[in-house]
Amino acid sequence: MKHLPVAVSLALSGCLGAFLLIASTTPIDLHLKLRRLDQSDGPSGSWHPVSLTKTIPASKTAIVICDMWDRHWCDGATQRVDQLARKMEPVLERARQAGVLIIHAPSETMSYYANTPGRLLAENAPQVIPPQDAPHIDPPLPIDDSDGGCDTGNKTYKAWTRENPLISIKPGDAISDKGSEIYNLIRERHIDTILLMGVHVNMCILNRSFGIRQMTRWGVPCILVRDLTDAMYNPKSKPYVSHAAGTQLVIEYIEKYWAPTVTSGDLMTALNASH
């Protein structure tokens, strides 16, 4: 086979380079299969699941990883966080490749990350004043977590020092545990959808300054990745169901009143389809 003339080879190389450049800058849309719970026939009606598809640009999407610490004071929580971290890692890697911003939010550990690129990325985002909180219905949770929610009988102490090392922090990721910083960052990047994963769904996922309640009140649409979360719930407390069932009740509460959910499998399908 004869070699192509140099000029032709260069031309072909140039075309390939241009093609790759266009491919790398082409906006990527994620077609997500979501679930929420709707109520029929007024306030006393029954709740039923509703499936919907939402298309969101990857470049306008962030994943917030909530309080996935290296260790929790509750042994049961620590074990489940390790399991979740292993499931999260491939999802996060694929999301980065698609252009989703990854925000690590291991609360009360920011000193560990002082002056790191990810921490500086969040700290240096231009300040934006959030809007006033919008009113939002906020019924009580369906579980009793007043005992702290530990199902392995441990006593409270500050056990965490950093994010779980099973979760990678890569160049371009941000690190923050402040809602105001995360709001600054998403407004700077023109991000209009947040996917939340991590722990715990009845506490920090809902209640942190970057959690579902606050971001929703600031007008930022949220989606919970429902199989990448866990609850702090002790089956010895009301409603006296298993830990898994208690977690599911809180997920359903969020689907009723706060945000739709997606599975990590459907999220990965959307990410892979965009590749």
d(CA 65, CA 208): 12
Per-residue pLDDT tens digits of the chain, which is 275 residues long: 444 444 434 344 444 444 444 444 577 999 999 999 999 887 778 999 999 999 999 999 999 999 999 999 999 999 999 999 999 999 999 999 999 999 999 999 999 999 999 999 999 999 999 999 999 999 999 999 999 999 999 999 999 999 999 999 999 999 999 999 999 999 999 999 999 999 999 999 999 999 999 999 999 999 999 999 999 999 999 999 999 999 999 999 999 999 999 999 999 999 999 76
Q: Would you say residue 86 lies in a domain?
A: yes
What local confidence, expressed as pLDDT, does residue 25 receive?
56
Buried b (16+ CB within 10 A) or exposed e, 2-36: eeeeeeeeeeeeeeeeeeeeeeeeeebbbebbbbb
**Is residue 154 classed exposed, middle or buried when 0-12, 13-18 and 19+ CB atoms within 10 A define those classes?**
middle
Asked whether residue 39 is domain-assigned, the answer is no
Strand order across the beta sheet in which 261-262 lies: 47-57, 29-39, 261-262, 222-230, 193-199, 61-66, 101-105, 174-175
Instruction: Find the CATH number of the domain harbouring 63.
Output: 3.40.50.850
Q: How far apart are CA 230 and CA 226, in angstroms?
A: 9
pLDDT of 273: 93
User: For residue 17, is it within any domain?
Assistant: no
Is 36 contained in some domain?
A: no
> CA separation (Å) from 242 to 35, 68, 102, 161?
23, 22, 32, 30
* CA-wise closest residue to 259 among 182, 184, 205, 186: 205
10 Å Cβ neighbour count for 107?
16
Tell which residue, 4, 187, 159, has the closest CA to residue 101.
Answer: 187
H helices of the chain, in order, are: 6-25, 75-98, 117-123, 179-188, 204-207, 212-217, 243-257, 264-273
What is the pLDDT at residue 4? 45
The set of residues, in sequence order, having a beta carbon less than 8 Å from that of 59 and lying 6+ positions away, is 27, 28, 99, 100, 189
**Total number of domains constituting the chain:** 1
Give the pLDDT score at 275: 67
pLDDT at 225: 99
Residue 91 placed within a domain: yes
Domain residue limits at 233: 58-273
Q: Can you tell me whether residue 58 is helix, strand or coil?
A: helix
**What's the confidence (pLDDT) of residue 1?**
43
Is residue 2 in some structural domain?
Answer: no
CA dihedral 197, 148, 135, 220 (to 10 degrees): -10
So what's the pLDDT on residue 2? 47
Nearest CA among 244, 246, 243, 72 for reference residue 154: 72
- The H or E element spanning position 67 is none
DSSP state of 269: H
Structural domain includes residue 50:
no
Residue 97 falls within a domain, yes or no? yes
